[in-house]
Amino acid sequence: MNTLFDIQENRKARKAERTRVDILEAAARAFARNTRATMQDIAAEAGYTVPSLYAYFRSKEEITQGLNDLVNREMMSAFDLPYPDSLTFAQKLELLLRHSLEFVDRRRDTFAVLMQQMSDIASEEADQPLSRFSLAHLRVADWMRVHTTPADLGGRAPEDVALLLMGVFQTFFIHWLSLDRPPSLTDRASLMVDLLLHGASGPHRDFHHSP
The residues that touch a second copy, with contacts defined as CB under 8 A, are 32-35, 89, 93, 112, 115-116, 118-122, 124, 131, 133-134, 137, 151-156, 160-161, 163-172, 174-175, 177-178, 191, 194-209
In angstroms, give the least distance from the CB of 99 to a second copy: 18
Partner touching 12 among a second copy, DNA, none, CB below 5 to 8 Å by kind: DNA
Rounded CA separation 76/87 (Å): 21
Site membership for DNA, residue 15 (CB under 7 A): yes
Check residue 20 for interaction with DNA (CB under 7 A): no
| Contacting residue, 6, 7, 10, 12, with DNA by CB under 7 A | 12
- Signed CA dihedral, 154, 155, 160, 166: sign only: positive
10 in contact with DNA (CB under 7 A): no
- Closest alpha carbon to 171 in 156, 187, 185, 153: 185
Query: Using an 8 Å Cβ cutoff, are 178 and 153 in contact?
Result: no
40 binds, among DNA, a second copy, none (CB under 5 to 8 A by kind): DNA
Considering only 6, 7, 10, 16, the residue that binds DNA (CB under 7 A) is: 16
**Alpha-carbon span 30 to 157, nearest angstrom:** 38
State in angstroms the smallest separation of the CB of 120 from DNA.
Answer: 16
CB nearer to a second copy: give 1 or 211: 211
Minimum separation from the CB atom of position 161 to a second copy (A):
5
Q: Which does 89 bind (CB under 5 to 8 A by kind): a second copy, DNA, none?
A: a second copy
- Residues 28, 32, 39, 112: which binds DNA (CB under 7 A)? 39
Indicate which single residue of 6, 7, 61, 183 sits in contact with DNA (rule: CB under 7 A). Answer: 61
133 near DNA, rule: CB under 7 A: no
Spell out the SS3 assignment of the chain.
CCCHHHHHHHHHHHHHHHHHHHHHHHHHHHHHHCCCCCHHHHHHHHCCCHHHHCCCCCCHHHHHHHHHHHHHHHHHHHHHCCCCCCCCHHHHHHHHHHHHHHHHHHCHHHHHHHHHHHHCCCCCCCCCCCCHHHHHHHHHHHHHHHHCCCCCCCCCCHHHHHHHHHHHHHHHHHHHHHCCCCCCCHHHHHHHHHHHHHCCCCCCCCCCCCC
Site for DNA, rule CB under 7 A: 12, 15-16, 19, 36, 38-40, 48-52, 54-55, 58-61
